[in-house]
Each structure stands twice: as C-alpha cells, then as structure tokens.
Structure 1
Amino acid sequence: MGNNLYWNVYKSLERELLSLAEVIHIDDSQLDVYSMKIADLLIRTTVEIESISKELYFREGGTKPDDKDLYFDTDCLALLESKWSLSKKVVMISSPILYLEETDNVYLTPLHKAYKRGTSSSDWQKAYQAVKHNRAKSLKKGSLKHFIRSLGALFILNIYYQNQSFNLGSNSNGNLFDASIGSSIFSIKLYPFPGIDASGIYKKNGDFEKCIYLIQATNETKESVRKVLEDLNEKIFNKAISEAQNELSQITEPLKADVLQEKIINLIKKHKDACTIVVAKENGAMLAKVSNALRFEVVLNINQY
C-alpha cells in the first residue's frame, strides 16, 4: 500500500488489535469480550470509515452536498455498493495470533448491509451507534467481534481507495501475489485467471463477486490472442461446414426446408469437435507462440466484467 493518511491510521488501528491479542487469547469464545478500550477502538475505526467512504463517494461521482444531510451509509456506501458490490466482498482473518476457527469468524463480509441504516444495518454499525450514544448502557456492544468486523470494512475501503494494480509478468496463477495487501490481520480472495476465448468474455463463477482482486491478461497481449483465436474459430467453423456439406451430399431423398436446416446445424455440431482438434494441431506452433506472449496483472474487482 502506498503512503497515505487513511492507510497510516488503518495500520495504527491494526496495531491496537495486535496489542490486545498479546493480553487476550482471541479465539472464537472470546469475541464477546468488551471493554472501554475496545469500544473506543470501534468508534475510532467507524469514524475512519465515515471519512474514507465520503471521499470515495465524491471520487466516484457522488453529487449530494457535503453537509449534515450526506450520510456515510445510505448515501456514500450505497453508491459504492451499486458500483462495486462491496457487501459481497470477503476478507479472511490470516493473523497467526488470532486463533479463530469458525467459518463465520474467519471469512468475513464486513460491508454486508453496511449501506443500510438502523436495525437493517450491519452488526458493527449498530454497535457503533449504541456505544456512541450511550457508552455506559451499551458497553457490551463494544466487543472484539464488532471491532474486528469494522476493521475489516475499513481494510476493504482502503484497498478501493488505493486502487492499485500489480504486474505478474508471465505468471498467470498469482501464487507470488501477496494476498494480505500489506495487512497484518487480513487477506483477500483473488479471482484466478479464467482463460481466454475468442468471444472476449471474462468467465465468472459464483466466487467472482466475493473477490476483491482478479487476475486478467493485459489488454495489449489479450487482444493479440483473441484475434488468433477468432481466426482459428473461423477455420474450425468453415471446416465443420465443409464436412457437413460432404455428408449432406450423400443424402438422396429430398428434405423439407426446416428439416434440412436442423440437419445442417446438427452436422456442424457433430463435426466441430473433430475439426477443432485438426485445426489446433495444424496451428499448434502459432497457438503456443501467442499463449507464451500473454502477460498478466492483478487488478481491483470493480465489476468491469
């Protein structure tokens, strides 16, 4: 992460959590531990969330005036949610001195419902409001669980604020990528490179929206591969048509137009796989050359696909 005020404050809050972990054995059974100190950390973290979400709101095109009627949740986080699906983004607890094991405590979606208000909002936001307005009565809400989740939310917002990309060179699997992005507490999910086809469509599965970063081929090298694949697909299609025509020429009885059309489609499908193998073998050297020329990068998942 670059050197900026938000990140420096975030890292300071991380150090506070790690200091607590030196005196509290933070495992699943300890997440309800609360104190004035933890309540104060929850408040400080959420104040940072308010500040960075407002700055992101204006950077990303928000138009409401910056006054008392601009709300960090229903205005700012709501705009960011519509752009980036932040409520689905996952961070994982990866610090070796946080002894958490339960899935719900390790894999967090800390911005889930964060763009809502009141009883509909996230648990850490409700805890923040309660502690802020009546600390003595609501001190139990100033717990490790709520502090950790608010810190996870701030981590995600810092990542989107930085908007960094990382060059992988010819390494498409991202195994050298540091998924902690500079955090001592969390790591993120990285969406793997899904391959390239001639359509240019980035293939996504159910994990896509959980991932804060994704691997893609660089635009320059991707386009050269796409053009080659497009040419090969055309050769495959033409070859399959030729094979289908040869087979049709052996049919002597007349066929109705709709039956003939369906038969042509089925014959092309039938021959396509075999033709693909033939064309791939004929053009193997060229395919290897363009595949080896691919270069990869890790970029922020901003719903660009």
Structure 2
Amino acid sequence: MRNVLREWQAELKQTFSGSRDEVPEWVPRLAEGNDPGYHLPGSAVWAVHGDMTPIVAGIRALLMQALHPGALAGVHDHSRFREDPLGRLAGTIRWIFTVTYGSTTAARTASDWVLRLHGSVRGEYVDGHGVARSYAADDPELLRWVHIAFTDAFLSTHKIWGRPVPGGPDAYVREWAQAGELMGVQSPPLSEAAMRRQLDHWYEAGELRSDGRVAETVAFIRNPPLHPVLRPGYRVLFAAAVVSLEPKYRDLLGLRTARLGPFPLPVRLATKVTLSIVHLALGRVGPSEQAARNRLRRLGYRA
C-alpha cells in the first residue's frame, strides 16, 4: 500500500511539475528578486492559487477556451498538446506560479517569453457565424477570451470547493487582471459582474461555437494519457469541471453532469474528498509559495 501511495504521489508531481522526484529548476528561482512581486500573502490570488481548486479550474478553463473557434484553432494548429499534454500543462503552471509568487521582473520575463512564443501562432478559422477569418495569438480579442475564461474558471471552482476569498470574488478578478495586462489584454475586467457581462456578450453574439473539432478536443480532455494510477481521481475532477460550468456552456460542449441512471452522482462531495487527498499528497505549502516567502523574508516583509 505504501508503494502505491508513493507511486501516486510521484505521478502527481510529474503531472503538475514535469518532474517525479525533484522540484523543477525554475521553482527555487522564485526566491530571487528584489521586490515583493505583484501579489502578497493574504491576497485573493494567493488564496485561490494556493488551494487545490486550480486543479479543477484548469480542466474547466480548457473546456471553455475550446468554445472560441479562434482560440481553439491556435491550439489545434500550433500546440503539441496531443503529443505532450503534460509538458504543455507544466509550462502553463510555470507561468501561473511565476506571476503569482515571483518578483515583478520574474513575472514580466515569464510573460514576455510566452508572448514571444505566440508571435508565430497565426492561421485561419471559421468563426461562430460561419465566416472565414484570420487569427493571431496576440490578437486582443483572443487574448481577452483566454484571460477571462481562465479567471472565470479559477474563481468559479474556488467558490464551490475553496475557502472564502479575501476581499471577495471581485478582489480576485481585480488582482488577476494584472496577469492579463502582462499578456497584452487591454482593460481586463475588474469585477466579477464585468467579467460575466463579457462572457454573456460572446455567447449572445454567437461568437462561440461547437463542431467536430470541439468534440475532438473535449474527448481528449475527458480522457488524457495519464498514468493508470491517476485516472480514477481524474474522472472525478473532470466531472467536477463539468458540474461547475453554466448549463448553456455544458450544452454547447455536448456535456452532461454525471449520473447513475436517473440519479445524479454526488460529484461535489467526491471532488472535495479527492482534492483533500491530493492536498495531503502534495503538501500543505507548495514549493513555489515557500520560495516566495523566502524572498519576502529576505526583503524584510512579513511572510
């Protein structure tokens, strides 16, 4: 049993960091820098990103982002998500944690690196109205969609399974707007209500669509190539992401909440238990947060 638990813990670390046994090389460097960064202990961002709910949020964000045909075309045409999905996940986690816990220089450097990668991401897609259009990953509209889908996912899942957010939901949207600005988003929403209005606008304007490519992407997200030891827990977390979606987006994605015949499964409770187990396996304080606290103590801040 002990060997099984060690294997499960190692596979969790591999999935989220790209390394089974060692802390990724970029994590200790979060202790470097000469300023406190954009976010501090006690902030809404630290509360949300330091919890376990981002695991569900990541799945929900991928599902939501697939509904914008321009964003999906960029991933489909230029990403290696099929060949190396865990590598792509580890890269995304690196950017999130660097902006969350790093110095301002580290956050800007990480964001600039992603933007440089986006420079070559260009192509064509058919929009929600059936019109052929060109796309570029640095297009303001696509950047805005990705940022808002991300923010909505992290906030929505935390509201279901997380603890109260310091300052409330608006504080998280307002604080994480800084990440959007680093990625070139112009005037990101600063409140939950403003974020919801923007999402409703895309939906009501018919900018979102579902087609064969979306169905293929959803099928991949539902059943990624994970180690067998992680698959039972992932099925619970995928079901949680589906439960967290608004019904109109579930319908567009062709998804239903988990049921056993006519009875809904207790997904919320099962998710709470699963996230608690992951928390025990990964530890109370993650290495990225600890590195940030070390930097803050060095600079004389209470951490």
Q: TM-score range by the shorter chain?
A: under 0.3
Q: TM-score, normalised by structure 2?
A: 0.27
Where relative contact order (Cα < 8 A, 6+ residues apart) is larger, the structure is 2
- Point out the structure with max Rg over C-alpha: 1
Q: TM-score, normalised by structure 1?
A: 0.27
